């Protein structure tokens, strides 16, 4: 995903009040021009009344559903997008900007810089974990592996002087 793709996500368009007013006026003009072209009869009046009632009722129902959806989104938004979330995003953005500035100093793009440092970061982390595992979880060698003959030794009968001599 390129930077422009992320900008499109960040700048999603929501229908504006101006657009809604334009659409309402456009629909009203279409309906009124239809009414001016047709000779009014009782049947046409009832049809138009039914159409108006149906569209108004549908609009009210959709507004209720939209409000319920907005309330659910608001609840989720407040749970997820906390101050800690925004601070973390800011820290990560600052980190990315630092890497980008360093890459530009070397005449590279940020993607090239990530391509260079990612294997190094992975290698460093992997070596650290391997060393840490070897340090913390090493199994002591057997006495036989160290060349110590333990057969015939009664460990309980060894006194302290003999042990440290």
- Domain segments of the chain: what residues? 13-81, 83-137
81 or 137, which is more confident: 81
144 or 88, which is more confident: 88
| pLDDT of 10 | 66
Task: Give the separation between CA 90 and CA 83, rounded to whole angstroms.
Answer: 11
10 Å Cβ neighbour count for 71? 10
Tens digits of per-residue pLDDT, 3-14? Answer: 677 676 666 667
What's the full length of the chain, in residues? Answer: 165
Four-CA torsion 46, 49, 54, 56, nearest 10 degrees: 180
Judge contact between 35 and 48, C-beta under 8 A. yes
Closest by CA to 110, choosing from 121, 120, 99, is 99
Mean pLDDT of 25-30: 88
pTM over 0.85: no
Distance of CA 79 to the CA centre of its chain: 14
| pLDDT of 36 | 83
Return the half-sphere exposure (C-beta side, CA atoms, 13 A cut-off) of residue 71. Answer: 6
Mean pLDDT of 30-39: 82
| pLDDT of 144 | 77
How does the average pLDDT of the chain come out, rounded? 84
């Amino acid at each position: 995903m390129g930077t422009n793709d992320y900008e499109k996500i960040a700048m999603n368009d929501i229908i504006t009040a101006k657009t809604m007013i334009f659409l309402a006026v456009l629909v009203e003009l279409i309906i009124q021009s239809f009414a001016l072209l047709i000779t009014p009869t009782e049947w046409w009046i009832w049809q138009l009344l039914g159409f108006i009632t149906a569209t108004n009722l549908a609009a009210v129902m959709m507004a209720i559903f939209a409000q319920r959806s907005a309330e659910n989104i608001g609840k989720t938004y407040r749970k997820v997008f906390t101050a800690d979330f925004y601070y973390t995003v800011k820290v990560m953005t600052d980190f990315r900007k630092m890497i980008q500035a360093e890459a530009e100093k070397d005449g590279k793009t940020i993607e090239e810089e990530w391509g260079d440092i990612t294997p190094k970061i992975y290698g460093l982390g992997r070596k650290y974990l391997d060393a840490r595992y070897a340090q913390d979880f090493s199994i002591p060698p057997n006495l036989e592996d160290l060349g110590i003959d333990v057969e015939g030794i009664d460990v309980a009968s060894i006194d302290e002087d003999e042990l440290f001599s």
